[in-house]
Structure 1
Amino acid sequence: MMLFGEERMGATMRVVMMIGMVASLVSIAHAATGTATFYTPPYVPSSCYGYQNNGVMIAAASDTIWNNRKACGKTCTVRCTGPTSQGIPQPCRGSVVVKIVDYCPPGCAGTIDLSKEAFSKIANPDAGKVKIEYNCV
């Protein structure tokens, strides 16, 4: 026998799940495209935070994202969409959320330069560079 409160709670959970699914579709629809590369430790100092440790799910922003330091502290959802070369045909593994902590100067090889740990979440590091969709907030 289901109690009234449990039934209401179940309905609430369904609504929350539906809102979450819609929100993720909206964020994907507004995602920008580019490329991701990676860099290796040490991750400090960084342009945004000096010697403050921000963990390993971090990234350096190219001029496309940097916006005169306004990107510092933003979180970006980055999803691998495919290879940039013929080397590794299926490099993608998924997506990752990273914090922008550094600047990738002009000549940066990617739109976003992920820590090696973050890159490894979305793609095989042997690929070196992959196509991505990203959304920063």
Structure 2
Amino acid sequence: MGLGIRALIMVFMTIFTLTSVANAAEGTATFYTPPYVPSSCYGYQNNGVMIAAASDAIWGNRAACGRSYRVRCTGATNQGVPQPCKGTSVVVKIVDYCPAGCQGTIDLSQEAFSAIANPDAGKIKIEYTQV
């Protein structure tokens, strides 16, 4: 009986993990540097440093303001660049708009980008999910 329950738990954990990964969107991330105010969403309100600017892909005419996203680096965008990812993820709050011509899906604060990847990469591949 104990072995059967363990097997069932493992099956449910695997399904949950695969479902979570399947729901993640893929894109790219860049970063911007301080000062982080004013922002399109909050004017001169300070929202800390774990923040980001949304590109047109997720901006939704300001609907993205205040949303939080878990962002994970998945690799380099340029061939020949060493693996920039640190193997961690970060949760950021959308506080700004990355205007047309934005180089990434999400433009992370320098601190958020540095938490998940080597800033020397400049641009990385990511998976992101709204949390």
The two structures have a TM-score, normalised by structure 2, of 0.84
Q: Secondary structure at the match of 1:121?
A: helix
Higher mean alpha-carbon deviation, 79-88 vs 111-120, is at 79-88
Against the structure 1 CA distance between its residues 23 and 115, is the aligned structure 2 distance closer, same or farther, given a 3 Å change threshold? farther
Deviation at 1:132, TM superposition (A): 0.3
Indicate yes or no: 2:94 matched with 1:100.
Answer: yes
**Residues 28 and 102 of structure 1: CA distance in aligned 2, closer, same or farther (over 3 Å):** same
Match of 2:4 in 1: none
Aligned length: 120
The CA deviation at 1:28 is 2.4
Q: Which residue of 1 aligns with 2:48?
A: 55
Shift of 1:135: 0.7
3-state SS in 2 of match to 1:77:
strand
8 Å contact kept, 1:79–1:132: yes
CA contact (8 A) 1:82 1:91 kept: yes
**Cα drift, residue 24 of structure 1:** 5.9
Distance 1:50 1:86, change over 3 A: same
Please point out which of 105, 118, 125 is paired with 1:124. 118
Could you list the per-position Cα deviations for residues 79-112 of structure 1 after superposition, in whole angstroms to 9, with x for gaps in the alignment? 0000001353210012110000000001000000
Partners of 1:99 and 1:34 in 2: CA distance: 17
**1:71 match:** 64
Q: 1:45 to 1:84 in 2, by over 3 A?
A: same
Which whole-Å deviations, capped at 9, do the CAs of 1:52-92 have from their partners, x for residues lacking one? 00000000000001001000000000000000013532100
Gaps of 5+ in 2: 1-8
Q: 2:26 aligns with which of 25, 33, 54?
A: 33
- Superposed CA RMSD: 2.0
Identity %: 75
Per the alignment, residue 110 of structure 1 pairs with 104
Whether 1:45 aligns to 2:54 is: no
Determine the structure 1 residue equivalent to 2:128. 134
